[in-house]
Amino acid sequence: MAGESPPLNDPTLAGPVIGELSPKTIKMAPKLAYRNLFHDRLSLVVTLVGIVFSLILVAVQCGLYIGSEQKIATVIDKTPADLWVVPFGTKSFDDPSLLTGREKYNVLSTPGVQDVQEMVVSFASWRKPSGGKKAFILVGLDTQRGVEPWNIVEGSPAELRAPNALAVDKSYLKDLGIDGIGAHAEVNQQRVQITALTGGIRSFTTLPYGFTSIANARKLIGAAPEQATYQLVKLAPGADIEEVRAALQKRMPDNEILTHTEFRDRSLNYWMFNTAAGAALIAGAALGVIVGVVIVAQTLYSSTKDHLNEFATLRALGASASYIHAVILIQAVLSAVIGYIVGFTLTMLLINATKNSTLNIVMTPKLAFALFLLTLGMCIFAAISAIFKVTRIDPAGVFSR
């Protein structure tokens, strides 16, 4: 019956509990832990709600952090390049300025270079068909050589080669005031048409990406035909990357030559550690972990305190302290496993519900495993806190009730 304590005089539970733990005692500890945990359903629900809430809080905060990292580096990761030629002082991919226009020929004439591609990145002004403006990030790709935005879900990549053609992400249609393929708008006072839609390409700054051919991009921002923002260098097979970089740096002392990893890390470090947005994400993730630990610890500690009389009875019957400790720890592990299963399921439902929005919450296998270890650790920490309370129980107190 709900609300009743498990029968402590059950010989299958008591066993040889006097002194050190025996194999039979160890075998009976999970049974008592299970009965002690489930006999009071209301207390169990309160405990699980605390664990589930904490898990979802931590998962969302950490998922937002990972998602933000992916958004910062999304174009860099999808662009094959061994070396990047960037304007001197570039802080991140989303901090663009134009090169002079002579860099391509310097790169191609450098020993060890197999090929080079150009990319134009610039902030631009988008005028909505219904009125109003919005800033966005224009990305010009060498579509004539087959360089196109990835994950196109509607339309044809080949159509981006047409004059004034543009691709945007589906998640930004409402912000841009358009309804899909075929829509027209103005970019820097020049008419453009949406010919393709991408899925899941979002920027960390919340400004939409707009992809077009490099020729269109130069025309839209008023750049010279030979100018670009970045030069993407591909090395010849067997070429030493440091030797090629040193040669390029000697030829172009006014620019920076970065490896793919260096440019990626620079962009991440700038947004995550040098801006308020990054600091807020890190603080949110850390606060989520702290709040989660406190909630779980308090919930499980209170649950254990509710059963102090039962534990006192066991001590009065001769149960050893190690036996009591084992019961409490097993209860904590059971709570962690159940809470993790429920919390992780709800977290995945939340992620699935927001996958088409600009809110990018990412769940990776490593994060899922880390969340399980964190949940388990929080519950064990709470159990240890409760053990100190139980250890001070006076067994004689059970007879004064």
C-alpha pair distances (Å), 114 with each of 108, 110, 227, 232, 234: 7, 9, 20, 11, 6
Contact 83, 245 (CB under 8 A): yes
Q: What value does the mean pLDDT take over residues 285-306?
A: 72
Domain match, 156 and 103 both: yes
pLDDT at 13 over 50: no
Domain-terminating residue out of 237, 253, 269: 253
C-alpha pair distances (Å), 157 with each of 116, 140, 170, 377: 21, 13, 15, 49
Domain match, 187 and 225 both: yes
pLDDT confidence bin for 148, thresholds 50/70/90: confident
pLDDT at 205 over 50: yes
Q: What are phi and psi of 153, to 5 degrees?
A: -105, -20
Q: What pLDDT digit, counting tens, does each position of 71-103 carry?
A: 888 888 888 789 999 998 888 888 888 988 888
Q: What value does the mean pLDDT take over residues 295-301?
A: 71
Lowest mean pLDDT among 55-59, 286-290, 310-314: 310-314
For residue 370, the enclosing domain spans 11-70+277-400
Does any domain span residue 241?
yes
Domain match, 116 and 65 both: no
pLDDT at 16 over 50: no
Q: Could you tell me what percent of the chain has a pLDDT over 90?
A: 14
Does any domain span residue 287?
yes
Does any domain span residue 246?
yes
Q: What pLDDT digit, counting tens, does each position of 61-74 carry?
A: 888 888 888 888 88
Does any domain span residue 391?
yes
CA distance 364 to 181: 32
Q: What are phi and psi of 188, to 5 degrees?
A: 50, 45
Contact 334, 37 (CB under 8 A): yes
- Residue 15 has a pLDDT of 43
Domain match, 386 and 306 both: yes
Domain match, 225 and 97 both: yes
- Residue 362 has a pLDDT of 84
Residue type, 48: L
Q: Which residue in 272, 290, 274 sits closest to 282, CA to CA?
A: 272
Domain match, 328 and 359 both: yes
* Number of independent structural domains in the chain: 2
Domain match, 312 and 345 both: yes
CA distance 296 to 291: 9
Scan for tokens 């194999």, then name that residue: 23
Does any domain span residue 266?
no
- Residue 262 has a pLDDT of 92
Domain match, 201 and 124 both: yes
Does any domain span residue 325?
yes
pLDDT at 259 over 50: yes
Helix axes 321-353, 365-391, angle to 10 degrees: 150
Domain-terminating residue out of 201, 220, 253: 253
Does any domain span residue 46?
yes
pLDDT at 9 over 50: no
Domain-terminating residue out of 209, 237, 253: 253
Domain match, 145 and 241 both: yes
Q: What pLDDT digit, counting tens, does each position of 208-256 carry?
A: 888 988 889 999 998 888 889 999 999 999 889 999 999 999 999 989 9
Domain match, 317 and 225 both: no
Q: Most distant CA pair in the chain: distance in Å?
A: 93
Does any domain span residue 5?
no
Task: Select the more confidently predicted residue: 21 or 343.
Answer: 343
Residue type, 284: G
Contact 131, 178 (CB under 8 A): no
Domain match, 108 and 239 both: yes
Domain match, 324 and 235 both: no
Q: What value does the mean pLDDT take over residues 298-322?
A: 70
